Amino acid sequence: MGENELNLDGTNPSPGTVLADAARVVAAAERFFQAAAVFERMSSADWQLIGDVLEVSARAARMRFARAETAFREVLSPERSPVAGEAERLHAYMAREPLEIAFDLDDWVLRHADGDSDLGAMPVSGGLVRRDPRPRAGPDF
């Protein structure tokens, strides 16, 4: 008999374990949900778009996810860690400027190409597509 199987008499051999597992799954799903909203915001989605996708108002979407977005932006803030190592600074820059990093990677790939392959002028950034081409001025909360 397995850990999450019922006893022969129909009772639970370890009461609460299935509920505890479900609570962990719900908590992980909530973290994923918040991360997805922050990802969309960092990818230039406005609160109206997020609200539309979730079938709520822009205000409700902002109220639900603005704290997670603010916390993420604070992590990226150079003022937060002025003595951060090069890797941390690069990671923050990559999160703030992904297209610029892709252009830098284009240059690197083309400098290191062996000449035998047709990579095109934009081997990295050419594969990136923005869903919403409107430029984003910054947080709108």
DSSP state, residue 6: P
Lowest mean pLDDT, pick from 62-76, 98-112, 127-141: 127-141
What pLDDT is attached to residue 141? 45
Cα–Cα distance measured from residue 130 to residue 40, given in angstroms and rounded to the nearest whole number: 11
3-state secondary structure of 90: helix
Give the pLDDT confidence of 18-76 residue by residue, as tens digits: 888 889 899 898 999 999 999 999 888 999 999 999 999 999 999 999 999 988 888 77
Q: Based on the number of CB atoms within 10 Å of its own CB, is 115 exposed (0-12), middle (13-18) or buried (19 or more)? A: exposed
Instruction: Please give the distance of CA 132 from its chain centroid, rounded to a whole number.
Output: 17
* 0.85 surpassed by pTM: no
